[in-house]
Amino acid sequence: MADATVLGLRGRVTGTVGPGLVGEVMVRVRGGAEAFLAYSFDGEARIPVGTLVVVVEYEAPRTVYVERL
């Protein structure tokens, strides 16, 4: 189960993140990769599929807020 240890980790967008959208990112955690629901940290950025991001906020159980690297 994921926890706050995802803060600061890098991930790749697998479902577009943007205003009015619930995106998805894959983050490498504990030797594997896990999918998280994702929102833009500033609430306005549109981040397309394939973009590398960093997790800046975590909300249990599977939601992260991200910024582009």
Give the dihedral of Cα atoms 23, 49, 54, 22; nearest 10 deg: -10
Burial class of residue 30 (count of CB atoms within 10 Å of its CB; 0-12, 13-18, 19+): exposed
3-33: pLDDT as tens digits: 678 999 999 999 999 999 999 999 998 889 9
Q: How confident is the model at residue 69 (pLDDT cuts 50, 70, 90)?
A: very high
* CA-based radius of gyration for the chain: 10
Structural domains of the chain, with CATH: 4-68 (2.40.50.140)
Confirm whether pTM is higher than 0.75: yes
CB count within 10 Å of CB 21 equals: 14
